[in-house]
């Protein structure tokens, strides 16, 4: 992220720093995007906790982690997941159908990016139960998130290790983005990263264009683009019209 120039508001609720607009979307080939509180309007771990009467307790840990007040994200997630023991698969399904909603502009943003040939990657400290479905709904190409362990139709309070590692934290989000960029044969300068919390900063710091959406203050301060009002598709406002 280049933050050498002071922030400037180029439209109401849309702030840029360290870049000259308009940018050209053809210069970017990959978007890595957070899920909870970015693509969707909830923090899934908090909603699952509500099913066992522990939402306030878990939400407090989530907020501290997103604000950057907890340095060990993996441990904070393990603590929260441990409190989810006993939640049923049926309760998870109800959260998806009744509580999970795409944030405004998500569908339009992904449609335009895909039509422009941009590959999209969902990277989340949340869970595959939700992220795999969100990926499919938005037509995103790849996803990486955490697997909740189910036994007898109930959560055990643990996560399942995957071939790439144990937990998708900030470092893993960054690694996944750069790994995919390498496989695509593109450089970091051709990547974009979008998120709202402290665990998105590593990938945002490595990306050619970093985007904060309705984000925590520390994230807004370090982003090339901060969308403080309106939908996710406001990112398109920093680019020249396609074909221009």
Q: What's the pLDDT score for residue 35? A: 98
Residues facing residue 193 across a β-bridge: 32, 210
The pLDDT of residue 244 is 58
pLDDT digits (tens, 9 = 90+) for 50-105: 999 999 999 999 888 888 888 788 999 999 999 999 999 999 999 999 999 999 99
Question: Is 242 a residue whose pLDDT tops 90?
Answer: no
Which residues are bridge partners to 23 per DSSP?
239
Q: Annotated catalytic residue: which of 34, 46, 169, 233?
A: 34
Residues contacting residue 185 through CB under 8 Å, at least 6 positions apart: none
Mean pLDDT score across all residues of the chain: 95
* Per-residue pLDDT at 66: 83
Say what the pLDDT of residue 243 is: 63
Residue 1: per-residue pLDDT: 47
- Per-residue pLDDT of 105-133, as tens digits, reads 999 999 999 999 999 999 999 999 999 99
Active site (annotated) includes residue 36: yes
The domains of the chain, with CATH numbers, are: 8-41+102-238 (3.40.50.1000)
What is the average per-residue pLDDT within 165-188? 97
At residue 66's C-alpha, the angle toward residues 62 and 72, to 5°, is 80
Question: Is-catalytic flag, 200?
Answer: no
Give the active site residue among 36, 46, 196, 233: 36
CB 129 within 8 A of CB 84: no
pLDDT the model gives residue 70? 82
Count of alpha carbons within 13 angstroms of residue 15, beta-carbon side = 20
Residue 102 is predicted with a pLDDT of: 98
Residue 2: the pLDDT is: 47
DSSP-based three-state secondary structure for 31:
strand
Q: Please, what is the end-to-end C-alpha distance for the chain in angstroms?
A: 25
């Amino acid at each position: 992220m280049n933050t050498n120039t002071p922030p400037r508001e180029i439209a109401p609720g849309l702030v840029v720093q360290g870049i000259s607009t308009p940018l050209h979307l053809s210069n970017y080939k990959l978007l890595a995007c957070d899920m909870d509180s970015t693509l969707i309007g909830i923090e899934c771990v908090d909603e699952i906790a509500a099913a066992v009467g522990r939402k306030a307790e878990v939400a407090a840990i989530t907020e501290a982690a997103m604000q950057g007040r907890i340095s060990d994200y993996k441990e904070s997630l393990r603590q929260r997941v441990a409190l989810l023991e006993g939640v049923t698969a049926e309760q998870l399904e109800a959260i998806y159908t009744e509580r999970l909603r795409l944030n405004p502009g998500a569908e339009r943003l992904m449609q335009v990016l895909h039509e422009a040939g941009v590959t999209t990657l969902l990277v989340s400290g949340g869970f595959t139960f939700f992220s795999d479905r969100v990926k499919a709904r938005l037509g995103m190409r790849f996803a990486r998130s955490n697997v909740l362990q189910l036994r007898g139709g109930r959560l055990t309070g643990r996560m399942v290790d995957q071939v790439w590692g144990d937990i998708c934290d900030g470092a893993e989000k960054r690694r996944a983005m750069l790994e995919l960029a390498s496989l695509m044969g593109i450089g970091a300068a051709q990547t974009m990263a979008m998120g709202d919390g402290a665990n998105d900063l590593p990938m945002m710091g490595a990306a050619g264009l970093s985007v904060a959406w309705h984000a925590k203050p520390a994230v807004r301060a370090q982003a090339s683009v901060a969308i403080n009002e309106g939908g996710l598709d406001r990112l398109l406002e920093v680019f020249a019209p396609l074909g221009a």
